[in-house]
Amino acid sequence: MRKTLQQIQEELKNGTTTVSALVEEAHTVISEKDESIHAILGMYSNDLIESQIARAEQMLKDGTATALTGVPIVLKDNIVVKGERATAASKILADYTAVYDATVVKKLKEAGAILLGRANMDEFAMGGSTENSAFGVTKNPHDITRVAGGSSGGSSAVVAYGGVPVSLGSDTGGSIRQPASFCGIVGLKPTYGAVSRYGLMAMGSSLDQIGPFATCVDDVEAVFNIIKGADDLDATSIKDIPAVPVNSRKKIGVPRSFVEREGIDPEVLENFNASLEKLKSNGYEIVDIQLEHLEKALSVYYVVVFAEISSNMSRYDGIRYGLSLKDENASNSMLGVYFKTRTDGLGDEVRRRILLGTYVLSSGYYDAYYNKANIVRAMLREEFASVFKDVDAIAMPTSPIPAFKIGEKSHDPLAMYLADIFTVPINIVGVPAISLPSGVTKNNLPLSLQLIAPHFGESTLFSIGRDFEKIS
């Protein structure tokens, strides 16, 4: 499906297409392409799909259609839909059925969207390649020997191969922007608090945000406008969002010394500089900025996120949700259930993070790691705020490398973590960022430009993003 949301609405209104035809087309493309890509873990029930089609048709008749009415959409499998399976790509939730709708799901349903299926991901969103899925890796539609990125690899790949026009993912340290970058599409990580996290399976609660994937900035904006907003069910969602003006003449800051680092792929750097040149020749002012604490962001992230993971994952104990296994040999039957369920039900990366998170939070180490990380986190926030007094946006590549080979990094967690260098600072600070396609490597692998705005500056990202789309 290679149509924009606007084209789809026009065609629905003038009768060139119907909601059922759109759904059928999505099914056809997914059944053709997904065998080799594996972006989709499963489809939602026919009952749900049929009722959504009926609702969308009614909205079109009533003249109450929105930008998403009748539009098939795929959700990352850590977002819950009442009565439907939600696995977070984990064996521990392989047969779990959700008992309520996430707030974003409620909003999508009200907008008349057609929730179609569940997208593959790294288990509980922990990873950057979708190789940590318990149900098999998602391949990159541009080169199936390579990863689609992660953790929202499925949500990204299905849009990239044309299965659906838009999808949702979640971004804790880059999981929307990096797969968007690897697959050559647009991905938005909204401001922390702009979109309700209610019904998103928690990973790092102070970092997680739900956001959209699409093939163009307009479509990402349209989905964001539908899913955003305050929610009483998420205490961290922001009630009074300040209006952030979009300046007409824009100044973009580049943390040069941070970007031009060892380990950055030469083609990524060359493409990044070319993108800046394009913006410059279209009237943008590009200036160097200093963000002294940026170098520490990766370390801060991997302390904070492990700590929050170890706490959030304690709910998967074999008692309340999903899988529950007995260990007949255990002397204490209760402990036996905990141990057996968690060792058999959770993958290596998830268990590694629970252990490391428990360690950084343990008494005696708490001040040395977790508290220190939070102090540096506050320093980073201040530094960003002061830079944003002078520039409208900050530019960096989304990833230091293009999509890598399947298996290349899966046995080296540190190499995998290092690839998050340009995305994690944004979640630490809580500001919004967008990943925009900016060309391809010699081998035709997608490259991207990441733009970062101050809190609630999404409109600035859309405005620069549209300019960038025109000139690239």
**Residues annotated as catalytic (active site), given as ranges:** 76, 151, 175
- Interatomic CA distance for residues 182 and 437, integer angstroms: 9
Does position 75 bind ligand GLN by CB under 6 A? no
Least CB distance to ligand GLN at residue 134 (A): 16
Total number of residues shown for the chain: 472
Output b/e per residue, 405-423; b: 16+ Cβ within 10 A.
ebebbbeebeebbebbbbb
> Among candidates 405, 352, 402, 424, which has minimal Cα distance to 131?
405
User: How many residues make contact with ligand GLN (CB under 6 A)?
Assistant: 13
Binding residues among 302-321 for ligand GLN as defined by CB under 6 A: 305
Are the C-beta atoms of 449 and 398 separated by less than 8 Å?
yes
77 binds ligand GLN (CB under 6 A): no
Q: How far is the CB of 266 from ligand GLN (least distance, A)?
A: 23
Rounded Cα distance between 417 and 357, Å, is 15
**Interaction between residue 162 and ligand GLN (CB under 6 A):** no
Return the number of the residue (105 or 433) whose C-beta is nearest ligand GLN.
Answer: 433
Task: State yes or no: residue 203 binds ligand GLN (CB under 6 A).
Answer: yes
- Which of 34, 77, 143, 171 lies at the binding interface for ligand GLN (CB under 6 A)? 171
Assess 173 for contact with ligand GLN (CB under 6 A).
Answer: yes
Nearest distance from C-beta of residue 208 to ligand GLN, angstroms: 7
| Contact pick of 72, 149, 153, 174 for ligand GLN (by CB under 6 A) | 174
Three-class SS of 39-102: CEEEECCHHHHHHHHHHHHHHHHHCCCCCCCCCEEEEECCECCCCCECCCCCHHHCCCECCCCC
Cis peptide leading into residue 205 (ω within 30°): no
Selected from 52, 151, 167, 196, the binder of ligand GLN by CB under 6 A is: 151
Orientation angle between helical segments 5-14 and 217-227, nearest 10 degrees: 80
Cross-strand partners of 79: 200
Shorter beta-carbon distance to ligand GLN: residue 1 or 93? 93
Residue 181 is a binding residue for ligand GLN (CB under 6 A): no
The smaller minimum CB distance to ligand GLN, of residues 220 and 309, is found at 309
Extract long-range pairs of 238-244: CB within 8 Å, 24+ residues apart.
238/191, 238/193, 238/194, 238/456, 241/194, 241/456, 242/456, 244/453, 244/454, 244/455, 244/456, 244/457, 244/459, 244/460
Nearest distance from residue 193's CB to ligand GLN, in Å? 17
Q: Mark 97-136 with x for binding to ligand GLN (rule: CB under 6 A) and - for no binding.
A: ----------------------------xxxx--------
We find the least distance from the C-beta atom of residue 389 to ligand GLN, in angstroms, to be 28
Q: Select 125 or 393, whichever has its Cβ closest to ligand GLN.
A: 125
Rounded to a whole number of angstroms, the minimum distance from the CB of residue 241 to ligand GLN is 23
Query: Structure tokens of 440?
Result: 């391809």
d(CA 62, CA 415): 54
CA dihedral 87, 35, 222, 79 (to 10 degrees): 0
Residue 167 touching ligand GLN (CB under 6 A): no
Minimum distance of ligand GLN from residue 204's CB (angstroms): 8
From 52, 420, 431, 465, residue interacting with ligand GLN (rule: CB under 6 A): 420
**Looking at 155, 156, 172, 237, which residue binds ligand GLN (CB under 6 A)?**
172
Site for ligand GLN contains 90 (CB under 6 A):
no
Question: Whose CB is nearest to ligand GLN?
Answer: 175
The token duo for 307 is 């700590």
Q: List residues near ligand GLN by CB under 6 A.
A: 125-128, 151, 171-175, 203, 305, 420
